[in-house]
Each structure stands twice: as C-alpha cells, then as structure tokens.
Amino acid sequence: MREDEFPIPKRLEDAYRFKPATQLLVYIVLLVIGALILSIVKLGWPLTLYIVIFVVYAALLFPVVIKIENQWKVSFSLGLYGAAMAAIIYWTITLLESFDLRSVSLYVLFLLIMTVELFHHLGEDIAYEEDKKVYIGVAILSVIFFIFLYMFLSAYDWRVTVFGSILATILFAYAILPEKPI
C-alpha cells in the first residue's frame, strides 16, 4: 500500500472536537455556572475579590474548552490574559499589608511566575521561534527572578541564599524556555 491511499489529516484531534458554536456554548454555560457558584457562596469578601476570582476563572477555563484555530481566538485569549493579570495585580496590591523588602520581593516573584505561566497557558497558539530575542527575554526575566529571590532569601545563611537562588533561577529559566516542536 502506498501512503497516498490513506491520507493522514493535518490535525488528528479535529475529528474529536466539538464544533466551534458548541465550544462557545459550553464555555458560556461554564461561565454562568461559575458566576452562580460565586453568587451563592457568601464569605464576606468584597465584590472586587469575587470579580478577580471570576476573571481568573474565565481566563483559566478558556484554553481548556475553546480549541478553535483562528485569529479571533488568539486575540480573545490575549485579552483574557491581560484582564487576568490586571486583576491579579490589583488583588495582590490591595492585599499586600507589609511593604518591607522581603514582602515586596515575594510579591514580585509571585507576579513574575504568574505572568509567565498564565501566558504559557493562554498563549499556547502563539508561535514564537527560538531566536536571539527569545533568549534575551528569558535571560532578562531570569536575572529579575534571581535578584528578587536573592532579596527574599537574604535573611538566611549566605550559602542557602546564593545556591538556592541559583538553583531556582535555573529551574525558572528552563521552565520558560520555548519548547522545541515535535
């Protein structure tokens, strides 16, 4: 048998996906369910915290449910990324009670990790090549990560601070490097 007798589709998972309209309907239904759960749960939190939780929920749910391949999906995904990051930054700034060096360092580390991982999650369709700019960006983010982790760990013995910061920075850089295509 020849290979052209059995053509292999470009994307095998397309046959197992819902139609785009069904995907959007499922996403909207899950958003409504999330909003209803948030409205039923009364924990005495301010309204802004419920809004932050809902925006982050919508951003995390979007790439799991929506598997449409077009420019609108990428644009909406990046819009959700920006909204979720703005909500997380607002939430952490309003809840940050102490402004000493270690607290601010931990805050910046949290935001840096959340920013990168949320971008990986929501920007999975954005194709970026491994070129000089990507490696410079990874190096800059890693240096920022090292500096703030060093400041956060500075209360400990210098060996723990230096080696812990170096090891965690290597892991951070490895985690944010672009994956090679299969």
pLDDT band at 123 (very low <50, low <70, confident <90, very high): low
pLDDT over threshold 50, residue 182: no
Q: Which residue has the higher pLDDT, 121 or 150?
A: 150
Q: With the C-alpha atoms ordered 146, 147, 150, 152, is the resulting torsion angle positive or negative? A: negative
Over residues 147-176, the pLDDT tens digits come to 999 999 988 888 889 999 999 999 999 888
Task: Give the long-range contacts of residues 103-112, CB within 8 A, separation 24 or more.
Answer: 105/148, 105/149, 105/151, 105/152, 106/152, 108/144, 108/148, 109/145, 109/148, 109/149, 109/152, 112/141, 112/144, 112/145, 112/148
Over residues 20-50, the pLDDT tens digits come to 889 999 999 999 999 999 988 878 888 888 9
- What residue type is assigned to position 31 of the chain? L
